[in-house]
Amino acid sequence: MSYSTPSDPTPTPGVEPAAPASSFAPPAGYAPAGVAPAPGGARGRRNPWGLAAIISAAVLVLLLVLQLFVQVGILLSQTYDLFGPITGILGIVEGFVALVTVVLGLVGLFQRDRSPVLAAIALGAGGFALLSAVLWNVLYPLILSAA
């Protein structure tokens, strides 16, 4: 009969023996195996310029809705002499806010290691509103005066 000696380890049931250590190391910039990546990646950090741009775009949308209600109110009150000046003032304010939105969106878009999503959305909205303001407040009166 043979008895095990203390120098012979007895395997524990259900436990695999440890694998020998290897000399493999992950490339630079990669996490070792078994480590979860950082949430959101490198470009997932918040972008304060993009947030400011999207807030400016929201103000722009509110101004456009306000202009719609003001124009309807003027037309319903039949004070047509106020329509031109009030619409012009609101158009200038909207153009200024659209310009601010475009600038904030551009600055937010080119921030390193920041998410460009909000800045890109605001840049599109601000660019469209700026183009609309230029067409409505500059070209439309020129076309009407030429006709």
36-51 residue pLDDT tens: 655 555 556 889 999 9
> pTM of this prediction?
0.64
Going by pLDDT thresholds of 50, 70 and 90, the confidence category of residue 2 is low
Judge contact between 103 and 65, C-beta under 8 A: no
**CB neighbour class for 94 (10 Å; exposed up to 12, middle 13-18, buried from 19):** buried
Residue type, 64: L
Closest CA relative to residue 57, chosen from 91, 103, 107: 103
Element housing 145 (H / E): helix 140-146
Judge contact between 94 and 133, C-beta under 8 A: yes
